[in-house]
Amino acid sequence: MTNYWILLQSAGGPNQMITLILWGLIIVVAYFFLIRPQAKKARQQTEFIDEIEKGRKIVTTGGIHGKITKVDESTVTILVDTKTHLVIEKGAISLEMTKAAHPDG
């Protein structure tokens, strides 16, 4: 009789099912609140970098403000002062800082 009772307890029952449902809910919530927004943000940043064009005002991740004077395959030349040009990687341009500093584009 004792062995039969141990088998019933190890089979799981309703407690194990509730635990599985709760873990499933945690995974779904994590996906919608953490993973999905991060993927959307990365996609927007990539689209922003691909659409960069000459004459656009930008801000780098280091906080340097400038106007794009030349666009190459992986780099951008920006004018930061009257005759001061900097060559930076496209990945160093910040979407959020650019929108905050220059909301009109």
pLDDT digits (tens, 9 = 90+) for 11-57: 556 678 888 899 999 999 989 898 999 999 899 888 989 888 898 88
**Interatomic CA distance for residues 104 and 8, integer angstroms:** 67
Considering the domain boundaries, does residue 59 fall inside one? yes
CA distance 80 to 57: 10
Nearest Cα residue to 45 out of 99, 103, 85: 99
Domain limits for position 32 = 13-101
CATH of the domain at 72: 2.30.30
pLDDT for 46-94, tens place per residue?
Answer: 898 988 889 888 899 888 999 999 999 999 999 999 999 999 999 899 8
| Number of domains the chain is built from | 1
pLDDT score, position 26: 93
> So what's the pLDDT on residue 17?
82
Say if residue 98's pLDDT is above 90. Answer: no
Q: Does the residue 25 lie in any domain?
A: yes
Q: Which residues contact 74 (CB under 8 A, 6 or more apart)?
A: 89, 90
Q: What angle do CA 12, 16, 21 make, to 5 degrees?
A: 150
Task: Categorize the per-residue pLDDT at 9 as very low, low, confident or very high, splitting at 50, 70 and 90.
Answer: low
